[in-house]
Structure 1
Amino acid sequence: MDEIARLLGAMQRPAGESSDFDLNPGLQPSAGRVLRPAGVLVPVWTRPEGARVILTKRASHLKHHPGQISLPGGKVEPVDASVQAAALREAMEEIALPPAMVEVIGHLPVHETVTGFSMTPVLGLIRDDFAPIAEAGEVEEVFSVPLSHVLNPAHYVIERRLWMGQWRRYYAVPYGPYYIWGATARILRGLAERAAR
């Protein structure tokens, strides 16, 4: 089946919300927490050699998730009409992707991060040529991985690291020199699970 057809089919299947706490039952969020809404774009770029997912490597000086691989996006600002608008605005700022080039095909389930964000992933197709430009203040690198790689559940592993004195388990989906883990890997794994059904 064509990769994009698999993606569209996956979007028709139900899926529940996810969080950074999924694999860590002993690590619970505080009862009075206030989650900040955020929107991230899952940009699927159709290329002659096959569809690819565009990702960024965050700058090492950032307060949240420095140096990590992430989807373009960020918190919802007062100028944003919705989480989708925030995701598209941030993608324009971070990788110079014009919103008009993105065909939004749906939203993935909300993902709660351990840092207090309620992230809504927005799935979008890019069918035209596009030259990504990393925003120097936030993004160290823009790169892409094959959609086929992230849609294969067998490519995901569960690993752990010490975080604030506790062992924390998380999903990872490494690709070449890129270590894709945490919330980004969890969101992509949820999509892979839906595509595999």
Structure 2
Amino acid sequence: MTQDSVEPINAAPFAPLPSFDPRTVPVTAVDSDLPAVPATQLTPAALRARFAAPPPWEPEIWREPRFADRVPAQASVLVPIVMRDEPSVILTQRTTNLSTHSGQVAFPGGRVDPEDINVAAAALREAWEEVGLESRFVDILGSLPTYTTGTSFIITPVVALVRPGFVLTNNPYEVAESFEVPLAFLMNPANHRRHVMEWEASDGQHERREWFSMPYQDGKHERFVWGATAGMLRNLYRFLSA
């Protein structure tokens, strides 16, 4: 899952994914040998300083192998880091009626519309539309490199600090739940699990897909963070640990 191993932008044909439950796909490795981002680097001041003067670094994952035949679309997501005593990240559980990535854990976000002045504006608009997060509580820090999904969304992750005091109101059509996961948990590779799935496509070709998951036990609920969301969080880990 490195830049050198990803699929070229003009690769064809695509290989549709079979129906599967990602929770049942075996874990091939856990990256507990990598260091966690220290708590001192997860404070609002440290995060501001990192984005103000980024170090040399490379994202670990640029794109996923394409598995849907759709026209590429620009999108952005908000990576909202809440400034609590222990910083946390707002995530959503998407409803099952959506046409893409239904039922998955995701950041607030979506397509960039023509009226959006930039990707940050799109991310803020989507966060308001999906979970009612008001922009007056949000301070944009910067963006990570784009991440292209297997469904051909070219996503810009927009990282922001969020001041406590906000009230979320989920859009029932798009968001089943919204919740927070500790940033320290997500920035600790001991919680980053690797999965591999292999199958034979309809044309007889052998197909293979790899991804990360970061399942978080939230009381009675397991928040199964995986796929594109986990990939973007992994890139955030690489950025903060560089």
Same fold (TM over 0.5): yes
Deviations 1:17-68 (A, max 9, x none): 53343xxxxx4689x98521101000000113x1100000000010010000
- Decide whether aligned partners of structure 1 residues 34 and 130 sit closer, same or farther in structure 2, where only a CA change above 3 A counts: same
Query: Counterpart of 1:7 in structure 2: which amino acid?
Result: L
Q: What is the distance in 1 between the residues matched to 2:164 and 2:199?
A: 41
| More moved, 3-12 vs 126-135 | 3-12
CA shift for structure 1 position 8: 3.6
Return the TM-score normalized by structure 2.
0.72
Which stretches in structure 1 are left out of the alignment for 5+ residues?
A: 22-26
TM-score by length of 1: 0.87
Counterpart AA for 1:46: M
1:10 touches 1:191 (CA, 8 Å); kept in 2? no
Shift of the alpha carbon at 1:10? Answer: 4.4
**2:229 alignment partner in structure 1:** 184
Q: Quote the Cα distance in structure 2 between the aligned partners of 1:70 and 1:45.
A: 16
Specify the alignment match of 2:156 in structure 1.
120
Distance in 1, matches of 2:130 and 2:109, equals 8
Indicate yes or no: 2:203 matched with 1:160.
Answer: no
C-alpha distance after superposition, 1:71-91 (max 9, x if no partner): 000001122111111100000
- How many residue pairs get aligned? The number is 190
Structure 2 residue corresponding to 1:16, chosen from 32, 52, 58 = 58
Partner in structure 2 of residue 106 of structure 1: 142
**Can you list the C-alpha shifts for 1:111-167, whole angstroms capped at 9, x where unaligned?**
011101110000000123112121100000000100101111221111134678433
Partner of 2:74: 37
Q: Secondary structure at the match of 2:156?
A: strand
Q: Percent identity?
A: 38
Secondary structure in structure 1 of the residue aligned to 2:240 = helix
**Match 1:132 to one of 152, 162, 168:** 168
Check whether the contact 1:110–1:120 (CA below 8 A) recurs between aligned residues.
yes
What is the Cα deviation at residue 92 of structure 1? 0.3
- Kindly indicate whether residue 88 of structure 2 is the aligned counterpart of residue 47 of structure 1: no
1:90-114 Cα shifts (integer Å, max 9, x gaps): 0001110011211001101110111
| Structure number with larger C-alpha Rg | 2
